[in-house]
Amino acid sequence: MTEIRRASIRRTTTETDVSVDLIIDGTGRSSVATGIGALDHFLTLFARHGRFDIDIQARGDLHVDAHHTVEDVALCLGQALRRALGDWRGIRRMADAAVPMDEALAQVAVDLSGRGSFHYRDPWPGGAVGQLEADLVRHFLETLAREARITIHVVTLYGSNVHHQIEAIFKALARALDAATELDTRIAGQLPSTKEHLEIQG
């Protein structure tokens, strides 16, 4: 029987208290409560379209702004993803997805490389969805990539509604990660790298 790829992360600071439980090979079940409605919405559809089971609970200093909560949720989710992948052996590693949301279209490519980096092509969506500013979404993805030790490339091809643009990004990210984390029976037990090494510890 295949071992369940699962990890739990808890982070408590003077600014936030965040817990994340992630199952990679799930069915898309989610329970998300961050205090930021738009972030809850986008993480819920991230779970559904990535077929990840996630439980994310967060309390933060929202009387100041949403920055610390968004950042720490991304930090915990990234660490959970990195740990849930175990030794990363047998994964497909790279994948991409293009997803439309009405008038908006986004493309996301990921590489589970052991090297955390985030890249996007201008223009990045402007404005906000509720308390969630579009620039905080950029920071969320940057933090997620760093903590998960993965490379994320985002291209917002076009769109006029910021909600639709961000939703397309999260859905595309979910589908790309679902494909990249999939186990390939042809390379069972092998690291997906000719170096036979990925920087995934720590």
Beta strand 53-60 with 30-33: parallel, antiparallel or unpaired? parallel
Per-residue pLDDT reduced to its tens digit, 35-84: 999 999 999 999 999 999 999 999 988 777 899 999 999 999 999 999 99
For residue 2, the model assigns a pLDDT of: 66
Sheet holding 16-23, edge to edge: 6-12, 16-23, 53-60, 30-33
Structural fold of domain 6-187: Ribosomal Protein S5; domain 2 (3.30.230)
* pTM, full prediction: 0.94
For residue 1, the model assigns a pLDDT of: 45
For residue 191, the model assigns a pLDDT of: 75
Measured CA to CA, the distance from residue 122 to residue 125 in angstroms comes to 9
Measured CA to CA, the distance from residue 92 to residue 128 in angstroms comes to 34
- Banded pLDDT at 202 (limits 50, 70, 90): low
Q: Which amino acid is located at 195 in the chain?
A: K
What are the boundaries of each domain within the chain?
6-187
Tell me the average pLDDT of the chain. 93
For residue 53, the model assigns a pLDDT of: 98
Per-residue pLDDT reduced to its tens digit, 121-155: 999 999 999 999 999 999 999 999 999 999 999 99
